[in-house]
Amino acid sequence: MMNDPTLLLYIIITTIAIYGFCLFFWWGVSSTKRPNSMYWYVTFMLFGTAVNNGIAGYVRYLKFGNDIAYHQMLESDIWPLRLWLLLFCVFGIVAHGSVRYFRSKH
């Protein structure tokens, strides 16, 4: 397990995404200028990335240590739910960008 590059990548991505979320959230709350909605979508997309990769990394860790817990986690509601926040953020970014594009054309 110590030589598992996939688990290492999950840990690195989760750490960077948590740091990015904290940085963006702190700046958004403490800034004197009001951030727009696209900024908040990206902020929460970083949080969703951290949650998604954190859970995936934990399941990857279970795969090599506890086979029963690994299969239980894959069959639980947590496994598909980890993607909902990312789906919401990506949909928000695309919808917001589409609305702005089509408004500017008319």
| pLDDT over threshold 70, residue 15 | yes
- Can you give the C-alpha Rg of the chain in angstroms? 17
Domain chopping of the chain, boundaries = 5-105
Rounded mean pLDDT of the chain?
91
Euclidean distance between CA atoms 62 and 51, whole angstroms: 16
pLDDT of residue 30: 93
Q: Across residues 42-52, what is the average pLDDT?
A: 94
Q: Summarize pLDDT for 67-85 with one digit per residue, the tens.
A: 899 999 999 998 888 899 8
Confidence of residue 54 (pLDDT cuts 50, 70, 90): very high
Environment class of 41 (CB within 10 Å of its CB; exposed 0-12, middle 13-18, buried 19+):
buried
pTM (predicted TM-score): 0.83
| pLDDT over threshold 60, residue 1 | no
Please answer whether residues 30 and 22 qualify as being in contact, where contact means their C-beta atoms are separated by less than 8 angstroms. Answer: no
Q: What percent of the chain has pLDDT over 70?
A: 97
